[in-house]
A and B are shown apart, each in its own frame.
Chain A
Amino acid sequence: MNNSVDSDTDIVSIQNLSFSRGDRKIFNDISLTIPRGKITAIMGPSGTGKTTLLKLIGGQLYPDQGSVIVDKKNVHQLKRSDLYTLRKRMGMLFQSGALLTDLNVFDNVALPLKEHTTLSDSMIRSLVLLKLHAVGLRGARDLMPNELSGGMARRVALARAIALDPTMIMYDEPFTGQDPISLGTLVKLIKELNNALGLTSIIVSHDVEETSSIADYIYILSEGKIVGQGTPEQIKTLDSEWVQQFMKGDADGPVHFHYPAENYHKDLFEI
């Protein structure tokens, strides 16, 4: 892992980031880099603040210490208008899709185009249909978000995220709660889009199998620190009990099965 900031190969560089929410330290002096054009996964148990990390990268939250550099710009020092310009080059896929419920599929995907470009209606129509076709939902263009299944909603959200042809996409728990077919579709889409459009993808997930199958590099976070990192093969052989328990999904290990309680015998017979 190279600690030096190489902005030609790294699109995102996080240096010595610390962030607390109330008394809880969510990130404790972490540093990581996201290389361009590759799929990087950030994994860890639920509640470690993986979504928070994406929000810090996108500038929605401000760190207590440290810096987040995206495409050579320090995110949190930008003026509001510059931040908005930067965000146009970042796509984000939320866990629930976050489609606007009062617009149909077509209008949802068209929204960023209508807001940020001065393209004609026919051009926008072509672009929207292109994006929808890429995710396989061109025929669903007139449906309303509440008529879509979870998997379909995420695919529409993906089409919307790539509408402005961003350089980077962040996926927030894309695989959670999906049936095997939707799962397979999403995995395929993420990989294909990344390669076909030359994107950088950051996947935040705790789905070990799916993520490992497409990620080029993995960071594992726990308790505010990076506890493991490497390519999927490197991680599998990493000399850390905790990482091994996490990756294999063992019930007991460094993270105990039993919630701390007093002696079983004592408790049962109330001696």
Chain B
Amino acid sequence: MTQFFEHLGNKTLSSFAKLGRSSFFLIQILTATVSVIPRPRLLINQLFSVGVLSFLIITISGLFVGMVLGLQGFYILSDFGAEETLGVMVAASLVRELGPVVAALLFAGRAGSALTAEIGLMKATEQLSGMEMMAIDPIKRIIAPRFLAGFMSMPLLAALFSSIGVLGGHMVGVGMLGVDDGSYWSQMQAGLDFYDDIVNGVIKSIVFGFAVSWISLFEGYDAIPTSEGVSRATTRTVVNSAFTILGLDFILTALMFGDI
């Protein structure tokens, strides 16, 4: 019986220790980001592997999500005779919630896990150690550019997701189900406020980008340098990112939209 509590206590302490290590890691990254500015090549390389390669999954998912919203939304709204408000419904759902959250979850799954695996493998093959011995700071050269790339790509990807989603909803609603084209856009424009909806959505995706990049890079850096350790670390990235995104989403939504 006491073993259970001992185990629990152990786990809690090691979680705190991990949190401490990751915070220290974050501070190191943030101070290192300054040194990335004179080396744009590193950043561009990472923007490519993190952003450009996620482009496809984000746009296709966004399209399908938008189309499903259009379809489902139409049937639900037609019960109230409110089909013309489909535009608002699709756009509001996407811009406020689905865009930032789903794009972040997809990003964590595709780019986040790839980052973790890459860093973990570098640790396992002693590349990070090797760099340190060559007096090259791996945080500055490897970690910081990847962090910046993730952080910068996230809002762009979320915006792409939402925009393509709205077009997808249009395709289904206006193209196939007969919602009036004019109402789709005008209701949307009347119903969504730039500051409340768009800006808040962008802020959310920036926060998510920060969190996901931090988690994926840390799990890789902290991984046990064996093949099993690295694969466990990639799983942890996806799981922890998902929890963090959803938890942050609730907090941010409450802060942003709660007062209205």
Contact indicator B129/A60 (Cβ below 8 Å): yes
Which chain B residues lie closer than 8 Å to A99 at the CB level? 127, 130
Contact indicator B135/A94 (Cβ below 8 Å): no
Q: Is B189 on the interface with A (CB-CB < 8 A)?
A: no
Which chain A residues lie closer than 8 Å to B130 at the CB level? 92, 94, 98-100, 157
Interface residues of A in 206-224 (CB under 8 A from B): none
Q: Is A149 on the interface with B (CB-CB < 8 A)?
A: no
Contact indicator A88/B127 (Cβ below 8 Å): no
* B119-134 near A? 1/0 per residue, CB < 8 Å: 0001001110111111
Q: Is A112 on the interface with B (CB-CB < 8 A)?
A: yes
CA of A111 to CA of B141, assembled, Å: 11
Q: Is A115 on the interface with B (CB-CB < 8 A)?
A: yes
Contact indicator B135/A96 (Cβ below 8 Å): no
Contact indicator A101/B127 (Cβ below 8 Å): yes
CA of A94 to CA of B127, assembled, Å: 9
Q: Is B136 on the interface with A (CB-CB < 8 A)?
A: yes
CB distance from A101 to the nearest CB of B (A): 7
CB distance from B176 to the nearest CB of A (A): 46
Q: Which A-chain residue is minimally distant from B49 (CB atoms)? A: A102
Question: SS class of chain A's interface: helix, strand, loop or mixed?
Answer: helix
CA of A100 to CA of B141, assembled, Å: 12
Q: Is A74 on the interface with B (CB-CB < 8 A)?
A: no
Partner of A100, one of B127, B129, B132, B133: B127
Question: SS class of chain B's interface: helix, strand, loop or mixed?
Answer: helix
- Interface size bucket, B side? 10 to 19
Q: Which B-chain residue is minimally distant from A98 (CB atoms)? A: B130
Contact indicator A98/B135 (Cβ below 8 Å): no
Partner of B129, one of A85, A98, A157: A98
Interface residues of A in 44-80 (CB under 8 A from B): 55, 58, 60
Q: Which A-chain residue is minimally distant from B126 (CB atoms)? A: A98
Q: Is A265 on the interface with B (CB-CB < 8 A)?
A: no
CB distance from A267 to the nearest CB of B (A): 33
CA of A88 to CA of B137, assembled, Å: 12
Contact indicator B135/A88 (Cβ below 8 Å): yes
* A85-98 near B? 1/0 per residue, CB < 8 Å: 10110101011101
Contact indicator A95/B126 (Cβ below 8 Å): yes
Which chain A residues lie closer than 8 Å to B127 at the CB level? 98-101
CB distance from A110 to the nearest CB of B (A): 12
Q: Which B-chain residue is minimally distant from A58 (CB atoms)? A: B133
Interchain Cβ contacts under 8 Å between A and B, 27 examples: A55-B129, A58-B132, A58-B133, A60-B132, A60-B133, A85-B135, A87-B132, A87-B133, A87-B135, A88-B135, A92-B130, A94-B126, A94-B130, A96-B125, A98-B125, A98-B126, A98-B127, A98-B129, A99-B127, A100-B130, A100-B131, A101-B127, A111-B134, A112-B136, A115-B134, A116-B135, A157-B130
- Closest 9 interchain pairs by CB? A98-B130, A87-B135, A84-B135, A98-B126, A92-B133, A88-B135, A94-B126, A112-B134, A115-B136
* A contacts, CB < 8 Å to B: 55, 58, 60, 84-85, 87-88, 90, 92, 94-96, 98-101, 111-112, 115-116, 157, 160
